[in-house]
Amino acid sequence: MTEASPLDPQVPFYVAGHRGLVGGAIWRALESRGFSDLIGRSSTELDLRVRSDVFDFFSQTRPRHVVLAAAKVGGILANSAYPVDFLSENLRIQTNVMDAALEFGTERFLFLGSSCIYPKLAPQPIREDSLLTGHLEPTNDAYAIAKIAGILGVQAVRRQYGKPWISAMPTNLYGPGDNFSPTGSHVLPALIRRYDEAKASGVPTVENWGTGSPRREFLHVDDMANACLHLMEHYDGPEQVNVGTGKDATIKEIAELVAEVVGFEGETRWDTSKPDGTPQKLLDVSKLREAGWEAQIGLREGLKSTVAWYREHVGSLREAG
């Protein structure tokens, strides 16, 4: 690991996916730090799958710093049903943005991946060197392969051109701007919605899938944003860096905390006929700590702010969901 250097807050900084969960948090973090030339385009303004449009955009804006947080994402059902879409679209987005960034002089580049890049049966906690040591989870292997290709793309640029490009692999994220739709949300926003709706309607019980025994790690998206900027300034190495808290909890413990935070005082039941999924998925964050960063937002504190955001936006979320 080598030391990088401070980011220049005056030069053009492009956040690809600035309206998404992670990209939005990175945008907020940059604004709070006084970055004065932020560049963002919605997917309707710029389709990153169209190579000529991406090159035209980079030719016009010439960003010196780039965070690639844009991707086609989805849950288990979507990944299982549309593997061609997840592979093809993410490969095109990544290749187009990286090639254009290289062509037009982007100096600092952060590629954001996902912990699903690691083998399904990787030893816990999962170290960075577990990459490519075993079979992937079949339900999202197409998405994972695309993300692995992105990591290799960064490494290739480092080898061939010597640029300080890096990759970061986050654990499960949550926070303001998350997806709370009934069909598309992940476990934590799904729990928040379920318990909050039960409290609002006076339903006495909430039923969750499985036994509640699997262990999961959750990182607040604002912590993720700060970690990304810290890595861009303090880490310069070819290996991807895991970004997480280094701590996990059972789904049952997390559900109890969500119920407490939203004020639900009824009973929680567990449908043990439903699958539990992977018993544990925890990232080893030793490399991140060596780079000088640790998570600051505790799960209870993070849940409170996320529930507040959800309640403020619940009307429009329900219309969209």
Is 272 annotated as ligand-binding? no
Is 23 annotated as ligand-binding? yes
* CA 62 distance to own-chain centroid: 25
Is 152 annotated as ligand-binding? no
Is 40 annotated as ligand-binding? no
Is 186 annotated as ligand-binding? yes
Closest by Cα among 120, 115, 102, 132 to 73: 115
Is 216 annotated as ligand-binding? yes
Is 258 annotated as ligand-binding? no
Is 289 annotated as ligand-binding? no
- DSSP conformation letters of 41-108: --TTT--TT-HHHHHHHHHHH--SEEEE-------HHHHHH-HHHHHHHHHHHHHHHHHHHHHTT--E
Place of tokens 């290996």: 239
Is 72 annotated as ligand-binding? no
Place of tokens 């952060």: 110
Distance CA 52, CA 92 (A): 12
82 annotated active-site: no
The pair of structure tokens assigned to 235 is 């880490």
Q: How far apart are the first and last CA of the chain?
A: 44
Contacts of 289 (CB under 8 A, 6+ apart): 246
Closest by Cα among 63, 58, 84, 108 to 234: 108
Is 65 annotated as ligand-binding? no
Catalytic residue among 14, 118, 143, 174: 143
Distance CA 214, CA 291 (A): 30
Is 170 annotated as ligand-binding? yes
Is 275 annotated as ligand-binding? no
Return binding residues for substrate: 194, 209, 216, 276
Return binding residues for NADP(+): 17-23, 112-115, 147, 170-173, 186
Return binding residues: 17-23, 112-115, 147, 170-173, 186, 194, 209, 216, 276
Query: Active-site positions?
Result: 143
